[in-house]
Amino acid sequence: MFWRAAVLVFGWALPAHAEVEVRAMPGVTVREPRFEVTGGGTRVSGDVCRTGFTAGRPRFVRLDRIDASGVVIESRWAELSLAPGYRGGCGTYAITSLSLRNGERARLNILRHR
């Protein structure tokens, strides 16, 4: 799942052609991330929803900055607040600061464990 960033800016600045890849486990959906430039960088936030019963609930979000060759340069973690229960529901996350340069991309990972 990819979201194209239009005029969005990360802490490092997200080029207009950049993509944000989302990796989530089965039974979990991720609503389109929101980007807000703040004094301390860029705040990436959003919602993670459990669509039904899954073996383990998502509890963490990791945002990776990846260079053109596919190597992870930087990672930031956040714990889901109000992590969804086993029958469904949504949790929220917010991660501050990352910056993409030309040729780099971002990957949002939804995880059970850190």
> What pLDDT was estimated at residue 71?
94
Domains of the chain with CATH codes: 2-111 (2.60.40)
Distances (CA, A) of 32 to 40, 69, 70, 102: 22, 25, 23, 22
What is d(CA 73, CA 58) in angstroms, rounded to the nearest whole number?
24
> What pLDDT was estimated at residue 78?
92
What is d(CA 52, CA 64) in angstroms, rounded to the nearest whole number?
27
> What pLDDT was estimated at residue 9?
38
What is d(CA 98, CA 20) in angstroms, rounded to the nearest whole number?
12
> What pLDDT was estimated at residue 7?
32
Name the pTM for this structure: 0.76
| pLDDT tens by residue, the chain, 114 residues | 444 433 333 334 454 545 678 898 888 888 888 877 777 667 788 999 887 766 677 889 999 988 889 999 989 999 988 766 666 788 899 987 666 777 888 899 999 888
The answer to whether the CB of 8 falls within 8 A of the CB of 14 is yes
For tokens 């030309």, the residue is 102
Identity of residue 23: R
